[in-house]
Structure 1
Amino acid sequence: MQEFVYYNPVGLDFPLDESIFVASTIEETKDANFLISNSTEVESEVSADEIDFYIKNSNDSIAKKIENVHKLYEIAALKFDFAQDITYTQNVGNKLLLVANSDDAKEFIASINPNEFDMFHVSEDIIKSISGHIGNLSVVVDDEGKDVILKVDQIVWFDIKQMGLNQSGSFDPKQSSISEVINTLRANIEEYEYRKFTTYDANICQYHERREEICGRCEDVCPTTAIIKIDSKKHLEFSQVDCHGCGGCISICPSGALDYAPINRNSIYEMAKEFKGSIPLIVPDKMNISKLNIDLKQNVLPFKIEGEKFLHETSFLTILQESGSQVIFYTDFLSKGSKDAIRILNDIYIKKYGKKAIFVAMNEEELSQALEEVDFIENSQFSYNQEDERKREIFAVRLSALVGQDDLGVVKTGENVHYAKVNINEDNCTLCLSCVGACNVDALKAYPEDNTLRLNPSICTGCGYCELSCPEKDCLTIEQDVIELNSSWFLERVVAKDELFACVECGKEFATKKSVEKIANMMAPIFASDPNKQRTLYCCETCKPKVMLANDVVRNQRV
């Protein structure tokens, strides 16, 4: 299979790499299977409009253009190879709910074929709730004081309200047109396809199976019912058919339990490596660049992504460091997570390099301004093999390389992206290790070989579960929303240490000295009249019953 094809009926004024099949007519592309094409007119797995955008607008030399066009094909192929967005199909019947006033309803009904849909028509004021998804929607309506459930496959709602947007299968002709909506309805009945946009690792989720709710940000930012918290079990329930693929939940997830299936962390890394020596211009698919006439200064290369809300501090820093350049993000919307991440990284880069890291351009004028200012940052390029590593670990390694041996002070995080520092009062810590069991990102670890509790603050999510789990008073507190930009921040540090206590009977070490002393101090008043019982407080689990039994034998003999 020829992987790459370039189609242009008027041709090009410079040659392309020999791995790219060049066609000036569609007929030349027939009976061939292509992976990447520059045009939607050619049958291929992926259409990469960033290729023509670069060719049309770049000020690079001819030699550089030849090299970069081939690079853009390779980058698009990497994105395809690493994508995990599996496609599914959903059966959709012809049952339709029309929510409209009489005039809109008449216009819509006149535009469809007679008996084309099995249709209900209601006004929006009687709709009480909607559940389910496309192909299986349940709409509760108030029929003269009685709740009636309408089972439908799709909904057409003029001037749709948020209730209708929560599930898949609802369409508003006012946002497009009646003809477009009807075509969509018909296409869905033939075959409705949806994709898996998120992957999930429950092991590091800050909500999953915890005694108290300390996180649930993904559900908070989800514009649909694609993510639902099951509070009784503390489980997340995902409905991929209802997911829009915006990625807002990805950038807000503190631990990296959620990742974006079309462009996951590994994909970002592999693509970013191709930008070494180039200035990345990040462009979401929704931004129409095909008709954009703008001067791309030399070395600027488009970094095309699907979605616009999934980029977080780790993905941005990966792109920044692999390229060794400032970055432009051309988007008309910033998610909560992405916005915080950009602010944090800009604060860090200004402290280190005296320059911002990321330019956000929300329109053509701002993009032109950003293109004038953006440049490489000397000594900022850094690369390491981060494949299959967690989000926080990647960020910690990369930020550590950036900071080096400097002390750049403190950067504040929040309100949507949180880093934190656990502070432990060693005098009150008995090394019960409840905090270690509570931490599912390994920021807190126990080392039995030297009886220490250690903290790596650089990977702490600030979730607070360790603080909730600590049984000791005035022992563990969390300093929220702080990153210390010095080398010690990225190293495991001993935060508590103790000696092991030896059983007074057999000499076996069985617990920490502080924990034994704590229990002994609590129980001593109760056992004050019985020296043998007092002694059991300092015995291991094997000797304790022996001492108690011996005590009972002596007592019985006396009787």
Structure 2
Amino acid sequence: MPLDAPALSRALQTSPSARADGLETLHHTLCRREAAAFQRAARDEGETLIVACTQEQRLFAELADATEGAPSPAERPIRFVNLRERGGWSKDAGQATPKLAALLALAQLPDPAPVPQVSYRSAGRTLVIGPAEAAVAAAEVLAATLDVTVLVSAPGALPQHRAFATHAGRLTRLSGWLGAFHAEWVQDNPIDLELCTRCNACIAACPEGAIDFSYQVDLSRCTSHRDCVRACEAAGAIDFQRDPLAMAERFDLVLDLRATPAFSQHQPPQGYWHAGTDERRLASALRELPAMVGTFDKPTFFRYQQRLCAHTRNERTGCSACIDVCSTSAIRSDASLKGKAPGQTGGIIVEPHLCAGCGACTTVCPSGALSFQTPGPADQGQRLRTLLGTYASAGGRDAALLLHSEGAGARWLDELGRAARVDPQIHGLPARVLPLPLWHSASTGVDLWLSAIAHGASQVWVLLTDEEAPEYRTALQEQMDVAQAVLNGLGYTGTHLRLLQVRDARDLAALDSALQAPPAQTVRERARFGLMADKRTTLDAALDHLLAQAPAAVPEAIALPAAGSPWGTLAVDNQRCTLCLACVGACPSGALKDNPDAPQLRFTESACVQCGLCAGTCPEQAITLQPRLWLADAGRARRQPRVLNQAQPFACVRCGKPFGTLQAIEAMITRLGAHPAFQGAAAERLKMCSDCRVIDLHSHPNEQRITDR
């Protein structure tokens, strides 16, 4: 591939995070004839060693280990970056120097700060579920290294020998994860396989032939001779009077050979393999299961702040975006207040052992209560600024940021590069397309996308593969619709955000064509802000810069799609609102406030996350959500509180102290006026403040006794 060492060195010098030392010399056959050059570099002490080749990564690691005097990987890590398929093997290779410099600068950033780990402990106790023949065959392979139990879901011939525990029954529940599965099943056949010695006496004794080498009674053929019971008297494995037996055990691993899996979600728990009747999946499972013994760690991918959560308040449900999008069923509601300490308001519970790290929950969370931390926002922002900044400083223009997963997404980009090498119809990654690997492609949302545009990207594209659940595509598209509405409303022309998809090799040509899309309009000057831990703060910074750089006259408000919008206002029906202020107590973000000096409902639009808790809490159903982005006064108006409803205070008829509003008192009289406690002269108490109501009640002792009774 064409490489201009002096130009690449000059381009790298524009990046504060990059080093240009040694770029005057290029090694084209470093993994073979020039391997000594790598070994000399491996001996050097100092900063991280970068190798711009991933094909021979294993070879380079072995060379480093074999090099005398070279620091260990723990002392000085070796990082690998792919320049060939990502830039060199493309029809634009000659113009790719700014992109290559950006990729090298990205590789030189320090590792993100470590995050807490989640541990799994597996002793290898394995449950194999499925039809008898298939389950036994798989169990015989696994029994050499694992402690295997078989649960026969459909009768079939069983071997005479008993190499592992065997049960027959109907699985009723399977829950848990690697090292902590809980299985429940019902055993309802008269023959208990664990007691059966497989002596075959029952088979010989049964006159109807209702028992075969499955060692289960075919009840449709049995006519109750019970000769089998007498033949099995010593073992006692056959009992027609036995009630269905509920069984429960714990396992570390599960291999499921049934047609329908035990878990319906897109990503089942780690430690669970569903092979069904697929021979390739079964072979893969039989290879992988024996290695799943020991202690395994993974990052805690998310951070949850309950105080920001808009899911529930006072046992009312508002936003459920994270629960709806989770493909592992790792998130559940914690709406109840029972058993909680005073001041706790419920929320969600995320089970870290089930979380697969897709980050979709953090993408759709409007308040930032859930945030992705592998890497966290600050580290992700540094990567974004380094990539786009180095590219722009090196002379690159119209950058298209291509977000892809480190797994399948990276592999398909490599396939595209290799296809461009041999197929004249394939263009390959254009010079302006900057690939940015993520742990999972669903882990970024509107805050990072708009920040990327503010930092000079022309477009943000997200590559989806068969790794992603259908829920992710829907959620990402909703977020993109919102972000695109904002950009177009501000006057930026073109399509800035797009989902790209590749499932197999047949999609490569379509992907290649999609990557040739023309650039969209972006900012004149790049932003300088960094991504912050608080999602709303990052969004505000991105909006402020995009607003300041807007290429056209800015409207007072931009209408946004209802689905997925993190911004909006509230419409209050003043004829129905009684200013009870229940909505203020329900608002998780503090967007709704009261006024301690007057009956007022105040609202700060920039704080509203459109969760709907206020509308769900309002007893008068007087509140309606209206998604929009309000830009009056250059966006400053949305940060200032404004009055949505107000009323004259109602004064206590006894002491004259204001204690409510006319609407509230009228509503209370309408609802409680027929109550026996407020008849006759007592009706006036509904117009009294709480103190005067108590005083008046105690000044009429006879009425007090009647009320008590």
Task: Please confirm whether the aligned pair reaches a TM-score higher than 0.5, indicating the same fold.
Answer: yes
Q: Is the 8 A contact 1:127 1:142 kept in 2?
A: yes
Deviates more, 1:339-348 or 1:521-530: 521-530
Answer with 1 or 2: which has the greater Rg.
Answer: 2
Equivalent residue for 1:98?
A: 128
Equivalent residue for 2:272?
A: 170
Q: Alpha-carbon deviations, 1:364-397, whole Å to 9, x = none?
A: 3343333322425243666364654643454355
Deviates more, 1:138-147 or 1:404-413: 404-413
Q: Which runs of 5+ in 1 are unaligned?
A: 1-7, 553-559
Q: Is the 8 A contact 1:331 1:361 kept in 2?
A: yes
Q: 2: distance between equivalents of 1:424 and 1:12?
A: 64
Q: Within 5 A, what are the aligned runs for 1:2-151?
A: 19=19, 24=30, 25=35, 27=39, 28-29=41-42, 34=48, 39=54, 40-41=57-58, 42=61, 43=73, 49-57=81-89, 59=93, 61=95, 64=98, 67-74=101-108, 77=110, 80-81=111-112, 84=115, 86-101=116-131, 104-105=134-135, 108-109=138-139, 111-112=141-142, 115-124=144-153, 126-144=170-188, 145-151=244-250
Identity among equivalent positions (%) equals: 17
After superposition, the Cα gap between the structure-2 partners of 1:373 and 1:71, relative to the gap in structure 1 and judged at 3 Å, is: same
Deviation at 1:451, TM superposition (A): 5.7
Q: Does 1:477 align with 2:576?
A: no
Q: 2: distance between equivalents of 1:226 and 1:88?
A: 14
Q: Does 1:497 align with 2:612?
A: no
Q: Amino acid of the residue matched to residue 377 of structure 1?
A: Q
Equivalent residue for 1:344?
A: 482
SS at match of 1:156: strand
Q: Amino acid of the residue matched to residue 290 of structure 2?
A: R
Q: Does 1:300 align with 2:433?
A: yes
SS at match of 2:519: coil
Deviation at 1:438, TM superposition (A): 0.7
Q: Within 5 A, what are the aligned runs for 1:241-390?
A: 241-274=353-386, 275-276=388-389, 277=392, 278-286=399-407, 287=409, 288=411, 289-293=413-417, 294-332=427-465, 333=468, 334-351=472-489, 352-363=491-502, 364-375=508-519, 377-379=521-523, 383=527, 385=529, 387-388=531-532, 390=534
Q: 2: distance between equivalents of 1:13 and 1:309?
A: 36
SS at match of 1:292: helix
Q: Amino acid of the residue matched to residue 81 of structure 1?
A: P
When the two chains are superposed, the root-mean-square deviation of aligned CA atoms in Å is: 4.2
Deviation at 1:156, TM superposition (A): 1.8
Deviation at 1:201, TM superposition (A): 1.3
Q: 2: distance between equivalents of 1:46 and 1:498?
A: 69
Q: Within 5 A, what are the aligned runs for 1:231-250?
A: 232-233=336-337, 234-250=346-362
Corresponding residue pairs, total: 533
Equivalent residue for 2:293?
A: 189
Q: 2: distance between equivalents of 1:380 and 1:408?
A: 22
Q: Is the 8 A contact 1:312 1:337 kept in 2?
A: no
Q: Amino acid of the residue matched to residue 246 of structure 2?
A: D
Q: Which runs of 5+ in 2 are unaligned?
A: 13-17, 62-72, 155-169, 189-243, 338-345, 393-398, 418-426, 503-507, 702-709
Q: Is the 8 A contact 1:510 1:540 kept in 2?
A: no
Deviation at 1:327, TM superposition (A): 1.9
Q: Is the 8 A contact 1:285 1:305 kept in 2?
A: yes
Q: 2: distance between equivalents of 1:175 and 1:390?
A: 48
After superposition, the Cα gap between the structure-2 partners of 1:186 and 1:549, relative to the gap in structure 1 and judged at 3 Å, is: closer
SS at match of 2:403: strand
The counterpart of 1:398, out of the listed 512, 526, 542, is 542
Q: TM-score scaled by structure 1?
A: 0.79
After superposition, the Cα gap between the structure-2 partners of 1:207 and 1:328, relative to the gap in structure 1 and judged at 3 Å, is: closer
Q: TM-score scaled by structure 2?
A: 0.64
Q: 1: distance between equivalents of 2:596 and 2:336?
A: 35
